[in-house]
Chain A
Amino acid sequence: DAKTTQPNSMESNEEEPVHLPCNHSTISGTDYIHWYRQLPSQGPEYVIHGLTSNVNNRMASLAIAEDRKSSTLILHRATLRDAAVYYCILRDLRGGSNYKLTFGKGTLLTVNP
Chain B
Amino acid sequence: KAGVTQTPRYLIKTRGQQVTLSCSPISGHRSVSWYQQTPGQGLQFLFEYFSETQRNKGNFPGRFSGRQFSNSRSEMNVSTLELGDSALYLCASSLVPANTGELFFGEGSRLTVL
Contacts and interface: CB of A to CB of B under 8 A. Distances in A.
A91 B100 contact: yes
B45 A101 contact: yes
Q: Looking at chain A's contact residues, is the secondary structure mostly helix, strand, loop, or mixed?
A: loop
Given A87-B43, A93-B100, A42 B107 contact: yes
Given A42-B107, A43-B4, A43-B108, A100 B45 contact: yes
Q: Determine the interface band of chain B, counting residues with CB < 8 A from chain A.
A: 20 to 34
Contacts of B7: none
A76 to B, nearest CB: 22
A111 to B, nearest CB: 21
A41 B106 CA distance: 11
23 contacts: A42-B105, A42-B107, A43-B4, A43-B92, A43-B106, A44-B90, A44-B92, A44-B103, A93-B99, A95-B97, A95-B99, A100-B45, A100-B56, A101-B33, A101-B35, A101-B99, A102-B42, A103-B44, A103-B45, A104-B42, A104-B43, A105-B41, A105-B42
Interface of B: 4, 33, 35, 41-45, 48, 55-56, 58, 90, 92, 97-100, 102-108
